[in-house]
Structures are given as C-alpha cells and as structure tokens.
Amino acid sequence: MVDEEAGVVLRARIAAAQRICVLTGAGMSAESGIPTFRDALTGLWSRFDPAQLASEEGYRADPQRVWDWYAERREGVRAAEPNAGHLALGAFARQRPGVLSIVTQNVDDLHQRAGNADAIRLHGDILADRWLERCPERGTGREACATGGAEPGRPPRCTRCGNLVRPGVVWFGEMLPPGAMEAAERAAAACDVMLVVGTSGAVWPAAGLAGAARRAGAFVAIVNPHPSDIDGEAHAVLRGTAAGVLPRILGVGVEGG
C-alpha cells in the first residue's frame, strides 16, 4: 500500500497500538538543516576519505583535522531546531505515555530537545566528549580524569596523562554503545507498529530492525520521500518527509511546527 490508502490504515494501526517503535535516520535531521554524513564532506572536507575523518586511525593520524571537522558539525547541530516530525513524536509521547520507543541512527540531540529524552542512540552523541583511550586512573582507586577538565586545544588533552578528547560518536570499525542495539531489538520485537523514518536502510545492524519487527508480528510502515533498501519489509510505504507525514499519521498538533 502507498500514500493515501496507507495513511488511513496506518493511522488506525497507530490508534490501536499498545507499543510503537520508531527508527529514524539521517533524512529526518536533514529536514532541520543538519547535513547527512556524506553531505558534510563538502568544501574543504571534500578531498578527504570518510575514514580519515571518522575512524580512530584517522584521528590518531591528524587529531586537529578531525577535531575541527567535528567542531564544525557540532556548530550546525547546536544551531538546528527540531522540525515538525521531531515535535510530533514528542507530542505523541506526552499524550500516550509508555507507548512510544524511538531508536535513532542520528547523533544529534533533536529528538531529546523535542521531548523524547529516552531515545535509543545507536551511533552515539556528537555533542558528548569522551577520552580516546581508557583513562589510566580508572580502576586504580584514584579518581578518573573528567573530560571537562581537559586542557583546551584542538583537540583538548588531559593535563595529567595527555589523553586526547574525542567526540562521543561511533566511528568506522567501532562497536555500538553498550546495550544500545539490544534495547533497540527489544523495542522492535515488542512493538505492534514499526515506523521507519528518513533512513535509506543501508546501514546495518539498524536496517535489520524492520524485518525483525515484521517477523515478530508488527505492522511495518516506511516514511521516506525516496525508495529505501528495506521497502520490501514494509506493509505500507508513505512517500513523504518526516515533517510532512508524522504529524498527520500520529494525529497530534505541533506547536511551532
């Protein structure tokens, strides 16, 4: 089913659902003006391979270059505002507490600012800092170093051991945050309705959540202006953007949206 017929069926499914899981991707944040990872590789950064800017190896090779790229991206995140799609999800969570679980591939804080503070972040938090290496003070009985106390710089360094601060995102070759995928899989397995919003369905393991939800008995719907790699997993496909579709299918009014 597509478009209007799908919208009618989906609204009815959402109204009756006891548990709803929403997987969001880069397209949702792009509506708020945050470039996708690939789109951020423009201008000065277009000559770099992604692995040079989003891997531990790339960071160790040129910490200042990578830090400056993330500093530019962080400025964009801080300047962005939640769009009508984010706000609709926040309003829905307030109207129907305990029903909605959000799983996001995005590293910004727009879901949180829109009212979904417990969104599961599969790829980390671009505004958070953490140490590049495990703090040598951890587990020794002495107080571990705090990133907030690092010496300012590009990047900041620990004044005690020289450890570098890095952004709290998942780089190429790294594991997802502890417990994040397990929490996402539980939400997908338990839901009555699975919404997949603004993602190409090309990044795994997140792309497998729609199929897992369908096998567990959920009604799966995809909201995206373009075809995705996982459209075949959906019972319904709505060709539109998060900001244009979510307020309508969730049945909520959006202040400022």
User: Which pLDDT does position 1 carry in this prediction?
Assistant: 46
pLDDT higher than threshold 70 for residue 46: no
How many Å apart are CA 73 and CA 76, to the nearest integer?
A: 5
Which amino acid appears at position 7 of this protein? G
What tens digit of pLDDT does each residue of 152-177 get?
Answer: 999 999 888 889 999 999 999 999 99
- DSSP secondary structure letters along 83-95: -HHHHHHHHHHHH
**pTM, rounded to two decimals:** 0.91
User: What value, to the nearest 5°, has the Cα angle with vertex 4 and ends 191 and 223?
Assistant: 45
User: What value, to the nearest 5°, has the Cα angle with vertex 138 and ends 150 and 136?
Assistant: 65
Q: CA nearest 47: which of 26, 67, 69?
A: 69
User: Quick one: what percent of the chain has pLDDT higher than 70?
Assistant: 89
Domains of the chain and CATH, by start: 1-34+81-123+176-257 (3.40.50.1220), 35-79+126-169 (3.30.1600)
Annotated catalytic residue, options 111, 123, 226, 235: 123
Does the annotation count 123 as an active-site position? yes
Pairing of strands 165-169, 124-131: antiparallel
Q: CA nearest 164: which of 55, 51, 57, 60?
A: 60
Confidence of residue 51 (pLDDT cuts 50, 70, 90): confident
Confidence of residue 148 (pLDDT cuts 50, 70, 90): confident
User: Which pLDDT does position 141 carry in this prediction?
Assistant: 54
How many Å apart are CA 232 and CA 47, to the nearest integer?
A: 36
What tens digit of pLDDT does each residue of 8-43 get?
Answer: 889 999 999 999 999 999 999 999 999 887 776 665
Q: What is the mean pLDDT of the chain?
A: 90
